[in-house]
Amino acid sequence: MAIIKAFKAIRPAKDKAPFLASRSYEDYTVKELNAILTYNPFSFLHIINPGFKFDKKVSGGERLKLIRNRYLEFLEDEILIRDTQPSFYLYKIEKEDFSCCGLFCGTSVEDYKNNVIKKHEDTIKHRENLFAVYLKNVSFNAEPVLLTYPDNPTIGEIIGEVKNRDPEYRFSTTDKATHTLWTITREEDISKLQDEFSKIDSLYIADGHHRSASSMIFADKSKKGNPGHTGMEPYNYFMSYLIPESEIKIFEFNRLVKDLNGLTKEEFLIELDTYFKIEKKGNALFKPLEKHQFSMYLDGDFYALQLRKQIFKFTDALSRLDTQILYKTILEPILGISDLRKDKRIKYGFGKNNIFNMKDEIDKGNFMVGFGMVPVSIKELKDIADAGLVMPPKSTYIEPKIRSGLTIYEL
């Protein structure tokens, strides 16, 4: 039983929405960031990068205090407005090759604790605690957790009806995406959506594992510090963006490795022969076509590596995952990479030009060998989460990537 909650969002004034909503801070180059902060006074980046106003780099408690100050200034100047009634927010993103439509809502910390909201990645305690401190000091959350749910005809019908109404915002951004947002304020619609989601057994985290875990830490600490705790306080929920499984788009990460761990090319290929049938493809670009097939680029040539299934034994959902197979058959035993997060010899690539970039990096001599695979499927993601397992780092690159500041959840 999944619980979703309508909330009174803080969101951009109607004429400011195209200028305020921003990509994730890490997505910008230094040059882009400086240009936006210099020429766009309405960008949400001013809130999360408050030192720009003072031409000073700030960190720690000073930064958090200034983030809170900038946020309050945006409210006072009516760049941001506070909704007066609890709502759901329907948000659609349309690109040339991608479209999705989902709900901004509050989701339950208890559902996360009780595994109604399921995860497939490990989190790092230090990062969890950092964001929990951030939430405590700034008292808002502007970056939703991306959750997915099984396609549901009734939810689809309600969403379809809302999309026929006039939107609150519709604007385009420089990445040629169109953004449309509707507010869902009718009690009938809110009740129907809550009722339908209450029939769903599980929601799955697609992106935002650390934000979810941090929200739980923040909620637990807030509960302990509140003698009058009722369970209805805002801190008992965290903001999420819910979309159906059919609208999630999963891309693969390639693996690039700097050396062959002391092996010659010939020795390395002989080692691979234990678990793989190897077919040399030459210098023509080769991408794998199916599960348990890998592309490899080495010394100017592509190779197809086909897993020998009679040799490699599947024991659970994780063992069937291509990123795990690559780790257990090549990266760890042959190339000596045991820590996929910290080892400096490995790098991960993603994106539309993934295979071209991999080849280019190796041709330049920055890396010696690269591996590609087909993307993880939504079924594999769910199987891993249902089994209580976790994927290796950088197993999935998932769209949509949600802009910050379109809806803000106050804590």
What is the per-residue pLDDT for 27?
Answer: 85
What is the per-residue pLDDT for 132?
Answer: 96
Query: Please, are residues 322 and 292 in contact by the beta-carbon 8 Å criterion?
Result: yes
Give me 189's structure tokens: 């619609």
What is the per-residue pLDDT for 5?
Answer: 98
Token look-up 């690269």 returns 370
In angstroms, what CA-CA distances link 404 with 68, 133, 294? 16, 19, 36
What is the per-residue pLDDT for 213?
Answer: 96
Q: Is 102 exposed, middle or buried (0-12, 13-18, 19+ CB in 10 A)?
A: buried
Token look-up 């939810």 returns 155
pTM for the predicted model, two decimal places = 0.93
Per residue of the chain (411 residues), what is the pLDDT tens digit?
899 999 999 999 999 999 999 998 888 899 999 999 999 999 999 999 999 989 888 999 999 999 999 999 999 999 999 999 999 999 999 998 889 999 999 999 999 999 999 999 988 899 999 999 999 999 999 999 999 999 999 999 999 999 999 999 999 998 899 999 999 999 999 999 999 999 999 999 999 999 999 999 999 999 999 999 999 999 999 999 999 999 999 999 999 999 999 999 999 999 999 999 999 999 999 999 999 999 999 999 999 999 998 899 999 999 999 999 999 999 999 999 999 988 999 999 987 778 999 999 999 999 999 999 999 999 999 999 999 999 999 999 999 999 999 999 999
* Domains contained in the chain, CATH given: 4-250+399-410 (no CATH), 253-374 (3.30.1760)
Query: Please, are residues 340 and 277 in contact by the beta-carbon 8 Å criterion?
Result: no
First to last CA, the chain: 24
What is the per-residue pLDDT for 26?
Answer: 82
